[in-house]
Every structure is written in C-alpha cells, then in structure tokens.
C-alpha cells in the first residue's frame, strides 16, 4: 500500500489538478502532464509535488500511519479489537 501511494501519487495529483485547469489541461497539455506523472514515480518528486499541492500532511500521515500499523501488527502485540482464534 505504501509503495502504491508513493509511486502513483504524482499521477493522481495531476488528475486532480486537471479539474482546476492545471495538470493534463495545463499549458503543457497531455505531454507535460505525462512527464510530470512519470517523474512522480520517484519518491522525492512525489514529496515535492505534495508539498506544492498542499497534501503533504496527508502523504506523511498515510506513510507514518501505515508504518505504525505494520510495526504493531508484525510485533505480535495483541490488539484490543482483535478476536482470539478459536
């Protein structure tokens, strides 16, 4: 899940910006949009694009939240909402 967020984040930011007149509908057209979407597959560019887009907080929350969830789940710590197997 985390890999998908970081690798396809640029593409979905471009799709969302298209409705506001940017992204694929911007001055670069589809060619410029695809170039930025491909560059968005690199994590530093996804970080930079989310900071410019205003969704950096959401990107960091999803990243740290999924890492925290994975850490708790792999540690074997019993979760209060999880039923024990019968």
Q: How far is CA 71 from the centre of its chain?
A: 19
Does residue 51 lie in a domain region?
A: yes
Please report, to the nearest 10 degrees, the dihedral formed by the alpha carbons of residues 64, 70, 76, 82 taken in order: 100
Q: Check whether 62 has a pLDDT greater than 90.
A: yes
Q: In this structure, what token pair is assigned to residue 22?
A: 């940017």
Within the chain, residue ranges assigned H as helices are 2-18, 29-39, 43-53, 56-75
* 78 located within any domain: no
Q: Would 80 be classed as within a structural domain?
A: no
pLDDT at 5 over 90: no
In a domain, 9, yes or no: yes
The two tokens of residue 67 are 């890492």
Count, residues in the chain: 86
Number of domains, the chain: 1
The predicted model gives 15-27 an average pLDDT of: 78
Q: Is residue 85 part of a domain?
A: no
Taking residues 40-58, report their average pLDDT. 87
Inform me whether the pLDDT recorded for 78 exceeds 70.
no
pLDDT in the model for residue 64: 94
Q: Does a structural domain hold residue 84?
A: no
Is 12 part of any domain? yes
- Full-prediction pTM beyond 0.85? no
Give me the domain span that covers residue 43. Answer: 2-72
Unique residue bearing structure tokens 């298209």: 18
């Amino acid at each position: 899940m985390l890999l998908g967020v970081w690798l396809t984040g640029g593409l979905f930011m471009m799709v969302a910006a298209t409705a506001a007149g940017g992204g694929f509908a911007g001055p670069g057209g589809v060619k410029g949009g695809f170039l930025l979407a491909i560059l968005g597959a690199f994590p530093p560019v996804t970080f930079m694009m989310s900071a410019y887009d205003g969704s950096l907080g959401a990107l960091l929350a999803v990243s740290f939240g999924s890492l925290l969830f994975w850490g708790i789940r792999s540690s074997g710590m019993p979760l209060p909402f999880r039923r024990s197997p019968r």
